[in-house]
Chains A and B, each alone.
Chain A
């Protein structure tokens, strides 16, 4: 027998009156902190501090494992061994699986078993572990909904949701889990928008790291321009993409101290999921790029793109090569760019182009995989390519225009 909601509440009120007594409310440090973290004036500085702290942790953690462990492992042991041991050198089979037999590091080899495995296990895996750790702690402590409430004001204006902050933060570490986490958003429209916006405008941790170490003087400008792009194109997509953008409705739970056992269990489940779901896609992606190289599609592309680069974006045609590398690794691409001789403004422009022209292959594979949750793979693919082309030409061209107006090109 089912009751009417009003009737149900009437009965519950009676039961509660009979069994529950509320004593005097106490103000504790926790409840004061809880209030301060959702009020805009105190909550926003608090949020910035928290996020910065976690970002610093992420960099230290991922850097420690990637540069300290996986780079030497792959470059010094695995790569030379497989280059030597793999049969049929010179064949297309060798090219796809191992790549360049003379490559001295795992970035440049470009084979499925070399660069593919290295990117998936050596770079993305530490990033994933570090970021899921951060996210789980943020979730279990009860902080996430507070952050969502704070940013909802701005994000809802472009049709997103306060909880879109989760994929945004994740993407600053690595776009791959960022794209995966868009599935927590409520509507197809929001998932689609977020997927596209983050894969275009949010540089990943590896890229941020390289930018900070090689071109720190331009870092601020680049980030500002990308952030502006996020909101401008967010606003446009919100107008263009059909679908609904429901408003936030969430519980704001009290703060709790996360327990190690819960955090580690959740983390283990996520990492296990990454191994079975994402890694095969990353490997496939590398294989696909190799096949495109083999059939000459990429050379053809760089020939066409050369004039566009000098004419439309005002950057040297040598930047085409790093751009291709950017398919696999944006950080590697930025590093290559910084070695090319050009003006400061051209460098800013080319780094912006590297960031927005196409997601790295791992992210792109993830978009294809998650596409079915956001309106169908074909729709998402078509939509993202259309958006990409528009963004690259408009946003990249605009920067060139700004440069011409300022007289710095």
Chain B
């Protein structure tokens, strides 16, 4: 099984990656490009997962080489679970990428990272309501201190695909 970590640049994606993996990580060059990516392994509930720290990207419509590699890695792993790492102070932007991932049919878990920053800036996010609307596990995390990582790991096996048509109808009725 493969877990892909996706998110914008500077959302603490690598910090989440570091929390999830052990010491045995490798950085390699994506063939034919100048882009490097990191991968490692972890065990969740006795099962081994391969984790790839996908290069930071704003959307799955690539604008530069790094974003193209991000898309390539996503498309290469059709049966992967995606952890979409979002900066909690910029939820809307993060959800844009999360939607794109869900629209492509990937089961996903959303990590609302840098949760402490959001608290400090008086940003209030109703996590359970968000979970309820999207039907996707949503976990507040502070990857730098490790907060929420355990819960994030717990949720990975329960990630499922989302029916976008249903989701669209549901949101439109809000």
Contacts and interface: CB of A to CB of B under 8 A. Distances in A.
A22 B123 contact: yes
Given A8-B99, A262-B144, A266-B14, A3 B122 contact: no
B34 A16 contact: no
Contact of B27 (A12, A14, A183, A273): A273
A269 interface: yes
B92 A13 contact: yes
Contacts of A262: 14-15, 18, 144
A32 interface: no
Nearest to B146: A261
Contacts of B104: 2
B10 A12 contact: no
B154 interface: no
B34 A12 contact: no
B44 interface: no
Interface in A1-39: 1-3, 7-9, 11-26
B171 interface: yes
B34 A183 contact: yes
Contacts of B95: 12, 15-16
A2 B100 CA distance: 8
A253 interface: yes
Q: How large is the interface on A (under 10, 10 to 19, 20 to 34, 35 or more residues)?
A: 35 or more
Contact of A8 (B100, B121, B144): B100
B53 to A, nearest CB: 11
B150 interface: no
B124 interface: yes
Interface in B117-173: 117, 120-126, 129-130, 133-134, 144, 164-165, 167-168, 171-172
Nearest to B25: A269
Interface of B: 8-10, 14-15, 18, 25, 27, 34, 38, 64-65, 91-92, 95-96, 99-100, 103-104, 117, 120-126, 129-130, 133-134, 144, 164-165, 167-168, 171-172, 174
Interface of A: 1-3, 7-9, 11-26, 142, 183-184, 186, 191, 251, 253-254, 259, 261-262, 265-266, 269-270, 272-273, 373
Given A15-B174, A262-B144, 15 more contacts: A1-B164, A1-B165, A14-B171, A14-B174, A15-B171, A16-B91, A16-B92, A18-B174, A19-B126, A20-B123, A26-B122, A142-B10, A269-B27, A270-B27, A272-B27
